[in-house]
Amino acid sequence: MNLKRNGALLGAVALGAMTLAACGSDNNAASSGVDAAASTATCEGKANLSSAGSSAQKNAMDQFVSTYISVCQEKGKTVNLAYNPSGSGDGRTQF
């Protein structure tokens, strides 16, 4: 009796795993969000900006800074952005 119960449970788990796997997507194409945002960047304002804030968002800020500088260079503008991940408290103080 116990063997039948374990077999039924194993079958239910396997069926659930296959069902969840079937819901996945093989579309691994990059999002066009960066391109859309880049096309609307005007690169106006101060040419040199620096900021500080949470180290948790350092990777996101590094990506933003790199993309923004590249877009502005393509538009013939020179900008310099710097982000110091010194902590959210320091970022609020500098704000």
pLDDT of residue 41: 82
Higher pLDDT, 42 or 4: 42
CB neighbour list of residue 38: distance below 8 Å, 6 or more residues apart: 67, 71
| Per-residue model confidence (pLDDT) at position 1 | 55
Instruction: Annotate 57-79 with b (16+ C-beta within 10 A) or e (fewer).
Output: eeeebeeebeebbebbeeeeeeb
Is pTM beyond 0.75? Reply is: no
Residues in the chain: 95
Contact 51, 91 (CB under 8 A): yes
Q: How many CB atoms within 10 Å of residue 88?
A: 14
pLDDT for residue 73 is more than 80: yes
Provide, rounded to the nearest whole percent, the portion of the chain with pLDDT above 70: 67
Q: Is the pLDDT of residue 31 over 60?
A: no
If one compares 83 and 92, the residue with the highest pLDDT of the two is: 83
- What single letter denotes the amino acid at residue 18? M
